[in-house]
Amino acid sequence: MRMVVTRSKILAVVIAFGYITVAVVMSGWDTRGVFCIGLIVMVPLALIWFPDEISAYCSPNTRFYVGRGFDSPTPPFMVTLSGWVGLVGFLPLLAYLFSR
């Protein structure tokens, strides 16, 4: 399957680079801080950029002997929605709470 680059995906990358730019400006090139915000931003970006691949993952096997697993795929739009909630909602809230 070929990945289609949409406006939504490009906007997500622009917002992520904005977060990293703000981290660089606020921390004054503190490498650890910029690296951490880069890692944090990669999770919602992965959910936005690869919803089909992530939603297709399902396994009836338990993980670490907890629960019973899951055997039905998640709808891709829910994966994308959770990525946007994480990128636009969770990261600014996290930055606000850490700045206090």
Mean local confidence (pLDDT), 67-93: 83
Q: Would you say residue 31 lies in a domain?
A: yes
Question: CB under 8 Å to 5, separation ≥6 — which residues?
Answer: none
Q: Would you say residue 27 lies in a domain?
A: yes
Question: CB under 8 Å to 94, separation ≥6 — which residues?
Answer: 40
Q: Would you say residue 17 lies in a domain?
A: yes
20: pLDDT confidence band, cut at 50, 70 and 90? confident
Per-residue pLDDT at 10 exceeds 90: yes
Report how many domains make up the chain.
1
| CA nearest to 88, candidates 52, 28, 32, 47 | 47
Question: CB under 8 Å to 50, separation ≥6 — which residues?
Answer: 3
**Distance set, CA 22 to CA 37, 60, 99 (Å):** 10, 42, 13
